[in-house]
Structure 1
Amino acid sequence: MEIMMSQTLTWNAGPVSMAFEYADGQPVVMRALEINGVSVQFPESTPIAEVMTTDTGHMISCNKLTHTVIGRELRYSSHQTNTTGYRSELKIVLEDEDRDLEVAVRYSVDERSPMVQTDVTVTNMGLEPVLLDSVTSWSSTFGIPANADEGTESGLEHWDLLEGRFDWLAEGRWSRKSLRELLPAIGQELTNVDPRQSHQVVSTGTWSTGTNVPLAILESKAMKLAWLFQIEHNGAWRWDVQDNTADGCVALSGPTNENHAWFKELHLGESFTTVPASFTIAHEFDGVIANVTDYRREVRSPHVDNVEPSVVFNDYMNTIYGDPTTEKELPLIEAAGKAGIEIFVIDCGWYDDTGNWWPSVGEWMPSKTRFPGEKGIVEVIDAIKDAGMIPGIWIEPEVIGVKSPMAQKLPDSAFFQRHGKRVVEQERYLLDLRDPAARRHLDSVIDRLVGEYGIGYFKFDYNVSPGAGTDYDADAPGAGLLGHNRAYSDWIDGLRERYPDVILENCSSGGMREDFAQTSRFQVQSTSDQQDFRLYPVIAAASPMMVLPEQAASWAYPQSDMGAEETAFNINTTFLGRFFLSGYLNRMNERQLAWVQEGVNAYKKHVQPVIGESKPFWPMGLPGWNDKVLALGLDAGDRALATVWSRDSEGGDVRLHLDRWTGRAGEVSAVYPVDGYAQWPVHWDAASGELVVTVPSDGGYVSRTFEVNFN
């Protein structure tokens, strides 16, 4: 009988503690995890790295990211720890001697935030090529509470999965399902083999949130345990939740051969590093949301605008619609300045002389027909500055229109290609930022717009996706796409270094790219292109699931044909996020403009000073797309802000759960709208921890924001 002596490795970093077990005849597995005092043990485990090559595959036939032959045969070799400033890292080095493979699993913790980031690097140490088909960024079983009774099992029936669906105009649709609905009990115990079934969630191309979401939550209310995990990547990805019989398992990955036409061939000494992933645990949903909110704030690019986000006006939505001219802009600028706006953005079309702004993008030279006169567009930009606002401008940096002069000036190597042909999508070529010529072009554009015009805010849009990717100078289209994704992030990082004060907005047909690789680098995130103000509140209310409240730019577009309640409904959609306004302010009468000004002033007084340190919460739960009444809250310590929207509901008492403040005395006040508006009855029930709001029963689209100050 062979006896294997196992060893344990424990690593502590700020709020995180991790324990691993390994032996000569066993892979390295995680046995314990503690984050912010919440502890999990893993009686059942899975290897910390899963690597699949063309010539090894799975131990059992399936299409899971786990159960790989190499994953089971990797053995502990060494480990290293390092701390620089607030960041601590653990690197566990594994080896497969028979295949001359070295695999390094990196765990990284910012000691100010309760979350772990991880990635995996595979290196070929031998003469034979290594043909990679997939490599997990992270995988783990669900585990059970560290203080669980002996014999406690983490059955899938105890767990719910919360996942999101996005689409153009329909972002932020979250749903909760029991895992047993997704992965039914099938009696696999009789076979002594783990089932093939898994819940696989996949995203292709570069719209990382174009359909599915690279973030999800697993919660067991019975065990008082919740996981939040995310893939931090602005391209193709996949995550799985699996039934491993004795426990559930989650696995995260960037592109794979099976799903994304990705493949990587490694020769002697060559390495491949996965896209990063991150995870956290807490006792419940609110806890993991608080953890990821802290993580987002600590890890994102520093900027003076992060703490107290500036108020933005953009001329596009339900307003100029990509047809800017001097004549149209000057009255809008004057009205926006009077309303208290701090940034004015000229959206798409400013470069176009053809009358069709879509296929002419790419050179980014101001139109002389749209902005006639001696000064051209400078007349508009100077008007913005004279009104006390920062000038902003829209560009779509990653594309070149088929009718743009740059389509002929740049070499083919600057573009996505497949089979020797440039990739075309809706009259656009797609720039490949691995190519120096593509980066030089974009650098020259930004340098000119900042240096010559004083642009202080860029809205970067991205309205097409290239499919599988580019096979030019790449092992496979998915590998070329991953190279571009990483080169784009590097380009943004370089832009940040050259122009640290410039504010960047991330937009991809609205919220089609809300992954953390993007949002960690941008100050502002567009949440949608939704044009119907009656539908937008669901998107706005759900947005802090993916981005910080102060980043979430949800459009408000009040118009001169709207009454007081519709105007307030619009304003409240943007109120607990990044205040983001459009609409023909110049066509409003004095009273209508006063409603807007009241909203701007109330935001600056009540929200702007605290939003950069607040945490989101959902006092009625996450909103459903067809909910008649919905709400969003911000936890600002001894103060809570809550917005309630009623979408033609029957009215009556609505009970908002503010559980954290149960038992504390509180004073409630209306924040917006106030002047000239009917006030809704509201009171704080300290005993139950509920804010009771009486919604009018006469229907319509109405909304109020309240503030509760706790003693």
Structure 2
Amino acid sequence: MKRWEITENRIHLVWEITDKNEIKLLHFSVLDFEEENLASDTGVQSFYPQEILVTGQDRVGERHGSKYIQTSPGYRMKYVDFRDSRNEKGRLLEIVTKDDITGLELTSYMQFYDGISVVRCWTEVANKGSEPQGLEYVSSFALNGIDKEGLTDFDDKMELWIPHNSWEKELCWQKYTLRELGMAASQPEIMHRSSKAVEISNTGNWSAKEYIPMGYIHNREMNASLFWQIEHNGSWYWEISDQDGHVYLKLSGPTEHHNSWWKNLKPGEMFVTVPVSVGSAAGGFDEAMDELTKYRRAIRRVNDDNEKLQVIFNDYMNCLFGDPTTDKEIPLIDKAAEAGCEYYCIDCGWYSEGYWWDGVGEWLPCEKRFPGGLRKLMDYIRSKGMIPGVWLELEVMGIKCPKADRVPDDWYFMRHGKKVLDRSRYQLDFRNPQVIEHATEVIDRLVNEYGVGYIKMDYNIEPGIGTEVNADSSGDGLLGHNRAYLNWLDGIFRKYPDLIIENCSSGGLRMDYAMLSRYSIQSTSDQEDYIRYATVSANAPSAVTPEQAAVWSYPLTDGDSEEVIFNMINALLLRIHQSGHLVNLSPERMGYVQEAIAYYKTIRKDIKTALPYWPTGISQYTDPWVSLGLRCEGKDYIAVWRRNSQEDIITLPVAHLKGRDVKVICGYPGKAGCEFHWNREAGELTAKLPARISARLFELRYEA
């Protein structure tokens, strides 16, 4: 028996090579490793660092249900090599195992990033045998024993947070004990195992239509956490369940059972899983999100947008709602410039005279909407000191698009010999070189002929399990398309490094870090109720770095001053997506918009490096009070929203400033109209807000 004990970036890992030449991952945590915590009726047998399920292989041993345990040949993989090196990112571990029967060799990668308690993981599968092997499941990360520290039962001490996500109901985190999820401890402690699993997955192209592809589990007894994200823009899967007296976590991309993915791996071929990231932190949710925020910044494409955080005006929300014309745009452009906006985006409808939904695909400007041409309007935007942008939905083609029937069927997703239809659109297949040529030509035309510097890249269909064209399964076709789209996007950014492309999918339905490691900005929601939007705003930094989280601010035509202030504070700690009929605002209310944008320009240098926290906890849509904090160097910002609360006073714990001398000011609005007090000994900010619907943004200044 041999062991490796490694500590890197505060994470302790313990590996063991058994007498049967099997490698086990015994420990992955910021907590210290304690041998006695491994006690079970099977020892460390089930602590496999990899799981792989292949068609036609027998799954022997104790197993119930469809869980990804005791996979075959996963259970019989033999240790080959353990490589430990460094690269420009940090430490890199490679664990190699092989199965002599199938000839499959697995290499599990763990890439560390210096100073960050998060590890990026993926698995390569090489067929070194003489026969094809059908892959049904391959883990990107597998860890048993996530509950092993502490004395109490796992269903008491382990709290799982699941980020539910939906259209206009984004970022709805819910907390559960394992007992509440049907995994109550009901067997002798040493042998816990069942057929029940917590299974969270996505099938299709909308990667976040039901859940953000991430999760968080907290050991309340030990006050330590494990957290993860799956970095994929298509189908993915994770599960938590019990095995041999412990609780495990398995992360992967698509599977056959859940996502219609199956890969026929031929001799000499290699398959690479989707990357996932896993981290551990001492403390709770805030500490975990600190590490994840730093990691997200580390893996992201270097770009000016996330350095400058320039203010975007978009004419859609509570404004033109997809009906742009030159006559409507000119006064809005004037007001956006007057407000201090730096980009101006013309949203949907610019390419069609009337109903446009099922006719999109050619992306040629409508002359009747824009007499004299779109370029003329783009030039007018530039004359006002702003960079012009437009809306696109480039991955689809409407069924009534003139081009739709002139191209071959292999441009589209196909199943059972038919083109896949959803909401009167076809899904383009980015594995097809002609589709790539079509998409690139559209971008070239917008940038070079019309002078576009910003694209809102929307996506409003769900084509399902994938395509059968040139694929071993529908899920295999979808995975190939997802990866081809990312490769195309990489090429566009190489070609146009200054072009800003916003990731939008009916708001936040593709909020994943396959996309967000490329895109610099993410639409967070289509939420039309500014009061409910406060929950999206507050929770956004749990899924997206603050400088990537675009939030609508859309003052109402018939609102009042407190409504404008509330609307602006929704966006002030993130990325401003200004909208609303600014032309219709009174001078006083327009003044609050101008003040907010001017203030934002003084604090955005802090936002791009800040770490988020939640003084009153992660927000629920029914909460009468909502808060979000950003911790910077020598300064914190705290946004506070009052949502119809009968109480006018809120106390906000700021634990990391307890005992500190702090100077508090109301940053926005400057004429606060509210009272506030800092309690040094308790580390608490108390604020009194003036109206039942109101918000304020505070600065807390202190010696760094």
With the shorter chain as reference, the TM-score category is: over 0.9
Once the two structures are TM-superposed, the CA of residue 154 in structure 1 deviates from its matched residue by 6.9
CA distance in 2, matches of 1:650, 1:565: 17
| Whole-angstrom CA distance in 2 between matches of 1:414 and 1:558 | 42
Q: Deviation of residue 79 (structure 1)?
A: 2.9
Matched position secondary structure for 2:136: strand
Separation in 1, partners of 2:300, 2:97 = 31
- 321-330 or 66-75, larger mean C-alpha shift: 66-75
Residue 325 of structure 1 is matched in structure 2 by 325
- Cα drift, residue 101 of structure 1: 1.3
Q: For residue 341 of structure 1, give the secondary structure of its aligned residue in structure 2.
A: coil
Cα offset, 1:48, TM superposition: 0.7
CA–CA separation in structure 2 for the residues paired with 1:193 and 1:670: 54
- Relative distance call for 1:52 and 1:345 in structure 2 (3 A) is same
Residue from 56, 72, 76 that aligns with 1:69: 72
**Is 1:682 matched up with 2:681?**
no
Aligned-CA RMSD value = 1.9
Q: Which amino acid aligns with 1:8?
A: R
- Structure 2 partner of 1:709: 701
**TM-fit CA distance, 1:708:** 0.8
How many residue pairs match? The answer is: 692
Gaps of 5+ in 1: 1-5
Residue 22, structure 1, aligned to residue 12, structure 2: no
Quote the offset at 1:456 in angstroms.
1.1
The yes-or-no answer on 1:108 pairing with 2:111 is yes
Tell me the distance in 1 between the aligned counterparts of 2:591 and 2:648.
29
In structure 2, the CA distance between the partners of 1:690 and 1:191, relative to structure 1 (3 Å rule), is closer
Deviations 1:109-168 (A, max 9, x none): 2224321011111122222221111111111124468xx78xx57734211001111111
Shift, 1:239, TM fit: 0.8
2:199 counterpart residue number? 200
Give me the whole-angstrom Cα distance separating, in 2, the residues matched to 1:608 and 1:446. Answer: 29
Change (3 A) 1:618 1:710: same
* 1:394-413 equivalence runs, <5 A: 394-413=391-410
2:50 aligns with 49
Determine if contact 1:20/1:29 at 8 Å carries over to the other structure: yes
TM-score, structure 2 as length reference: 0.95
SS in structure 2 of the partner of residue 97 of structure 1? coil
Superposition deviation, residue 270 in structure 1: 1.3
CA distance, structure 2, for counterparts of residue 304 and residue 261 of structure 1: 39
CA distance in 2: counterparts of 1:62 and 1:106, whole angstroms? 29
Q: TM-score, normalised on structure 1?
A: 0.94
Tell me if structure 2 keeps the 8 A contact 1:343–1:389.
Answer: yes
Partner residue in 2 for 1:3: none
CA separation in 2, counterparts of 1:503 and 1:11?
41
State the Cα distance separating 1:76 from its structure 2 match: 0.6
- Answer yes or no: is 1:624 the counterpart of 2:620: yes
Distance 2:155 2:308 in 1: 43
Does residue 305 (structure 1) correspond to residue 305 (structure 2)? The answer is yes
Q: Distance in 1 between matches of 2:69 and 2:343?
A: 48
Separation in 2, partners of 1:164, 1:126: 41
Instruction: Name 2:264's counterpart in structure 1.
Output: 265
Secondary structure (helix, strand or coil) at the match of 1:505 reads strand
Supply the distance in 1 between the matched residues of 2:543 and 2:145 (Cα, whole angstroms). Answer: 22
Q: How far does residue 653 in structure 1 lie from its aligned partner after superposition?
A: 2.3
User: CA deviation digits over 1:393-447, x for unaligned, max 9?
Assistant: 1101110111112213332111111112111101100011011011111111111
- How far apart are 1:213 and its partner, in Å? 2.2
User: Which runs of structure 2 are paired with 1:298-697 in the superposition (5 Å)?
Assistant: 298-353=298-353, 355-373=354-372, 376-605=373-602, 607-675=603-671, 679-696=673-690
Structure 1 residues 52 and 385 mapped into 2: Cα distance closer, same or farther (>3 Å)?
Answer: same
Structure 2 partner of 1:135: 138
Separation (CA, whole Å) in 1 of partners of 2:545 and 2:184: 38
What's the CA shift for 1:87? 3.9
Q: Secondary structure at the match of 2:70?
A: coil
1:31 aligns with 2:16: no
Residues 40 and 143 in structure 1, CA contact (< 8 A), matched pair in contact too: no
Structure 1: how far apart are the matches of 2:281 and 2:241?
21
Indicate how the Cα distance of structure 1 residues 57 and 588 shifts in structure 2: closer, same or farther if over 3 A, else same. Answer: farther
Please say if residues 305 and 500 of structure 2, whose CA atoms lie closer than 8 Å, have aligned partners that are also in contact.
Answer: yes
Quote the offset at 1:26 in angstroms.
Answer: 5.0
Q: Is 1:551–1:578's contact at 8 Å kept on the other side of the alignment?
A: yes
Question: Which range is displaced more, 641-650 or 52-61?
Answer: 52-61
Q: Deviations over 1:503-523 (max 9, x none)?
A: 121000000010111111111
Contact 1:214 1:231 in 2 (8 A): yes
Aligned residue runs from structure 1 range 113-132, under 5 A: 113-132=116-135
Task: Give the direction of change, closer, same or farther, for the CA distance of 1:278–1:653 in structure 2 (3 Å limit).
Answer: same
In 1, Cα distance between equivalents of 2:358 and 2:628:
39
Kept in 2: contact 1:549–1:611 (CA 8 A):
yes
Supply the distance in 2 between the matched residues of 1:57 and 1:682 (Cα, whole angstroms): 67
Matches within 5 A, 1:155-234: 155-185=154-184, 187-189=186-188, 194-234=193-233
| Residue 69 to residue 651, structure 1, CA distance change in 2 (3 Å) | same
1:575-630 CA-to-partner distances (Å, cap 9, x unmatched) read 1100111011122232221111011011112x312000001110000011111111
Deviations 1:623-642 (A, max 9, x none): 11111111111111321111
Match of 1:78 among 78, 81, 99: 81
Instruction: Say if 1:218 and 1:40 are closer, same or farther in 2 by CA, change over 3 A.
Output: farther
Aligned counterparts, 1:242-261, within 5 A: 242-261=241-260
1:200-228 CA distance string (max 9 Å, x none): 11211111110122111110121121001
CA positional deviation for 1:57? 5.4
Runs of 5+ in structure 2 lacking a partner?
A: 39-43
Counterpart of 2:54, as a letter, is T
1:91 aligns with 2:79: no
d(CA) in 2 for partners of 1:496, 1:545: 26
SS in structure 2 of the partner of residue 98 of structure 1: coil
SS of alignment partner, residue 554 of structure 1? strand
Give the letter aligned to residue 288 of structure 1. A
1:174 to partner: Cα distance: 0.7
Q: 1:156 touches 1:247 (CA, 8 Å); kept in 2? A: no
Looking at structure 1, the residues matched to 2 and 182 of structure 2 have their Cα atoms a distance apart, in angstroms, of 34
Q: Aligned letter for 2:676?
A: V
CA contact 1:16–1:109 (8 Å) conserved in 2: no
Equivalent pair of 2:124/2:271 in contact (CA under 8 Å): yes
Query: What residue identity is the alignment partner of 1:379?
Result: K
Q: What is the CA distance between 1:30 and its match in structure 2?
A: 1.6
Structure 2 CA distance, aligned partners of 1:588 and 1:544? 30
The question of whether the paired residues in 1 share the 8 Å contact of 2:77 and 2:98 is answered with yes
* Cα distance change of structure 1 residues 581 and 240 upon mapping to structure 2, 3 Å threshold: same
**C-alpha distance in 2, partners of 1:531/1:326?**
25
SS for the counterpart of 1:69 is coil
Partners of 1:58 and 1:600 lie apart in 2 by 61
Cα distance in 2 for residues equivalent to 1:388 and 1:189:
70
- For 1:557, the aligned partner's letter is Y
Taking the aligned partners of 1:165 and 1:57, their CA distance within structure 2 comes to 36
**Amino acid across the alignment from 1:539:** V
* One-letter amino acid of the counterpart of residue 178, structure 1: T
Q: Quote the Cα distance in structure 2 between the aligned partners of 1:314 and 1:691.
A: 35
| Alpha-carbon offset, residue 188 of structure 1 | 3.5
**Structure 1 residue 61: Cα displacement:** 3.7
The alpha-carbon deviation at position 17 of structure 1 amounts to 5.2
* Aligned residues of 2:192 and 2:246 also touching (Cα < 8 A): no
User: Could you tell me how far apart the structure 2 residues matched to 1:582 and 1:40 are?
Assistant: 53
Inter-partner Cα distance in structure 2 for 1:88 and 1:499: 32
Secondary structure, counterpart of 1:566 in structure 2: helix
Report the alpha carbon displacement of residue 190 of structure 1 after superposing the two structures with TM: 9.5
Which letter does structure 2 place at the counterpart of 1:311?
A: V
Q: What is the identity, as a one-letter code, of the residue corresponding to 1:125?
A: K
